[in-house]
Amino acid sequence: MRKQYDLKNMKLIDNPYSEKLKKSVTIRLDSDVIDYFKKLSEQTHVPYQTLVNDFLKSCKDQKMTPKTIWKKSV
């Protein structure tokens, strides 16, 4: 680095892209769901996590809601 650079007086700014960054989360998915997206990934040459994200984003954009039916335990 050159000596004439004085980084002590540099003004810091927030990253304008920080809101667009992806967040890492832990999620539990059924094995068959993961297998489905991994096979699809092999066919399309798109990482399976990207496929899952795109699918969920599409659900969000279409304002879909899950139809979960909980079984009563006896």
Model pLDDT for residues 7-47, shown as the tens digit of each residue: 788 888 888 888 888 889 999 999 999 999 999 999 999 99
Closest CA to 35 of 19, 20, 52, 21: 52
pTM greater than the 0.85 cutoff: no
Q: Give 56's pLDDT tier (boundaries 50, 70, 90).
A: very high
How far apart, in whole angstroms, are the C-alpha atoms of residue 39 and residue 14? 40
Residue spans per domain, the chain: 27-64
d(Cα 74, Cα 54) in Å, to the nearest integer? 38
